Structure 1
Amino acid sequence: MIKKFLIVMVLFFSFSATANADTLHEVKKGDSLSKIAKMYKVTVNDLRTWNKLKKDNIYIKQKIIVQKPTNVKTATKPVPKPVGNKPVAPIITEIIVQPGQVKSEQVVNPPVLVDEAKQLTESGQAIYLLLLDIAPRLEGIPYLYAGNTIAGFDCSGFIHFIHSQAGLNLTRKSSESYFAESATVVNPIVGDLVFFENTYKEGISHMGIYLGNNEFIHAGTKGVEIARLDSVYWKDHFVSFKRFHSVSVN
């Protein structure tokens, strides 16, 4: 068991080292796209494409992707489940339960799920590894309604951007549409989607990426940030963990 764990961890860190090549440059006073392009020996058109910029305008502290995203088709080993505190599926909708918090007599059978997520494909495993590398490096980018570039994100725009950078061909849609196009996860792993309801409107209205240990990253009103699922607000609005069909085994 220990030998298997060590092999998986070596593969994980080896792949993460490749993913770390997708360097971010923080814009400083006096920077321009042409200056940044020259600095990193790429073209201005490359910067526009990788960052989905429609204009050449940039601002101080903006984070610019300055190297082509890694090809995700090289990974062949499965992603291990999170080490440490194992994520526990909510016993009742809208409640996140930490390991050891529930006594045996309190446990109830989960509801029957019509569309339960299947395991990740090999390309899905690779995409999840890249998601976990890319997403935290975008922390601090401001909130922008309907935004899906590093100039600013809304929640579904953030999901679209990081999945696209990780190699998934994903159409830009609302969190409600993404909810409908994904399957429910009973035992979430890091990289899975997490959905919320009744935040700024009724029904499914917000989403993020699960990071393990009851944390998730999302584009909220304060910008891209890491938050806790067991906080009062998010616990009250939690719906479920889900997984895109496109990264799952058919």
Structure 2
Amino acid sequence: MFKKVLLVTVLMFSFAATASASTNTLYEVKKGDSLSSIAKTYKITVNDLLTWNKLSKDSIFVKQKLIVLKPTIVKTSTKTPQTVVATKPVSPVKPQTVEKPVQVKAEELITSPGPLLDEAKPLSSNGQAIYSLSVDFAGRMQGIPYLNAGITMAGFDCSGFIYFVYTQAGLKISRQSSEGYFASSAPVTNPIVGDLVFFENTYGIGISHMGIYIGNNEFIHAGTKGVEKATLDLPYWKEHFVSFKRFHAVSVN
């Protein structure tokens, strides 16, 4: 009994520490700010800001969100992976008012197709940590504008958003299009928070859009209105939905 109480206490303390740290991850640029002044405030270097935010130049703009805390690199755990209870999406309910979402723009990327593998395996302990960080970080990106082929805090397209969020959480993946990520991940029957959700024929033939599943039949994605939450209950998304999938690198080997 004492060991169980101790374990719960340690887990609660760890979660609180992670949440506290993540609130200081982003800084919204204000009038008069410069990379050097922001770096001085947070006791980091201008090069840190350029690297963490994948900026190619030192110009910034008001209300731009910048990472000011070194992204956490998750180390692989040697412990036995914990069992993750999958949550099955709620059956979509047809809304009375139909609102067609803004069409997603095409991505100017080279796809990297690969073989479709069997059903995704459960998350490893390392994968659980990456998913937790990814979903938390994705939620903080809401409001960042759409930018075709964008992979920085200045703007994202749908797959650029996926690439940025998961790499910041410690996952080593290459930059690909939605079709490329679809081909290099495994299908999931019962998705959990943090899995990928794919759509087809949103602006062209084939896999053309993706997002991150956040539970309750909802997902977060980068569309033409910017990073935002959406629901799979909407007729448009139900019509174009393909499947849930999972990166191989977060699964049990």
TM-score computed with the length of structure 1 as normaliser: 0.82
**Residue 54 of structure 2 aligns to which amino acid in structure 1?**
K
Residues 18, 222 of structure 1: CA spacing in aligned structure 2 closer, same or farther, 3 A cutoff?
A: same
Deviations 1:214-246 (A, max 9, x none): 110000010000111111211111100000111
User: In structure 2, what is the Cα distance between the partners aligned to 1:39 and 1:194?
Assistant: 39
Question: In structure 1, what is the equivalent of residue 107 of structure 2?
Answer: none
User: In structure 1, what is the Cα distance between the partners aligned to 2:8 and 2:192?
Assistant: 15
3-state DSSP of counterpart to 1:131: helix
The answer as to whether partners of 1:79 and 1:125 remain within 8 angstroms in 2 is: no
Question: In structure 2, what is the equivalent of residue 205 of structure 1?
Answer: 208
The answer as to whether partners of 1:8 and 1:80 remain within 8 angstroms in 2 is: no
Question: In structure 1, what is the equivalent of residue 145 of structure 2?
Answer: 142
Question: In structure 1, what is the equivalent of residue 88 of structure 2?
Answer: 87
The answer as to whether partners of 1:175 and 1:207 remain within 8 angstroms in 2 is: yes
CA RMSD of aligned residues (A): 2.7
User: In structure 2, what is the Cα distance between the partners aligned to 1:65 and 1:172?
Assistant: 20
Question: In structure 2, what is the equivalent of residue 110 of structure 1?
Answer: none
3-state DSSP of counterpart to 1:138: coil
Quick one: which of 188, 192, 209 aligns to 1:189?
192
User: In structure 2, what is the Cα distance between the partners aligned to 1:182 and 1:19?
Assistant: 29
**Residue 234 of structure 1 aligns to which amino acid in structure 2?**
W
Question: In structure 1, what is the equivalent of residue 26 of structure 2?
Answer: 24
Question: In structure 2, what is the equivalent of residue 44 of structure 1?
Answer: 46
**Cα displacement (A) at 1:15:** 3.5
Unaligned runs of 5+ in 2: 94-115
The answer as to whether partners of 1:124 and 1:247 remain within 8 angstroms in 2 is: yes
For the pair 1:78 / 2:82, whether they are aligned, the reply is: yes
Deviations 1:147-191 (A, max 9, x none): 001110000000000011000111000000000000000110000
Q: Between the two proteins, what is the percent identity of the paired residues?
A: 69
Quick one: which of 241, 244, 248 aligns to 2:247?
244
Matches within 5 A, 1:205-224: 205-224=208-227
The answer as to whether partners of 2:197 and 2:210 remain within 8 angstroms in 1 is: yes
**Residue 190 of structure 2 aligns to which amino acid in structure 1?**
N
3-state DSSP of counterpart to 1:72: coil
3-state DSSP of counterpart to 1:199: coil
3-state DSSP of counterpart to 1:73: coil
**Cα displacement (A) at 1:11:** 2.9
3-state DSSP of counterpart to 1:61: coil
User: In structure 1, what is the Cα distance between the partners aligned to 2:237 and 2:171?
Assistant: 27
**Residue 17 of structure 1 aligns to which amino acid in structure 2?**
A
For the pair 1:235 / 2:238, whether they are aligned, the reply is: yes
3-state DSSP of counterpart to 1:224: strand
The answer as to whether partners of 2:92 and 2:232 remain within 8 angstroms in 1 is: no
Quick one: which of 58, 83, 97 aligns to 2:91?
97
TM-score computed with the length of structure 2 as normaliser: 0.81
The answer as to whether partners of 1:155 and 1:207 remain within 8 angstroms in 2 is: yes
Which region of structure 1 is more displaced relative to structure 2, 13-22 or 145-154? 13-22
Question: In structure 2, what is the equivalent of residue 177 of structure 1?
Answer: 180
User: In structure 1, what is the Cα distance between the partners aligned to 2:166 and 2:55?
Assistant: 17
Question: In structure 1, what is the equivalent of residue 99 of structure 2?
Answer: none
The answer as to whether partners of 2:146 and 2:227 remain within 8 angstroms in 1 is: yes
Greater than 4 Å deviation, 4+ residue runs: 6-10, 74-77
**Cα displacement (A) at 1:87:** 2.6
Which region of structure 1 is more displaced relative to structure 2, 222-231 or 6-15? 6-15
User: In structure 1, what is the Cα distance between the partners aligned to 2:12 and 2:209?
Assistant: 30
The answer as to whether partners of 2:124 and 2:250 remain within 8 angstroms in 1 is: yes
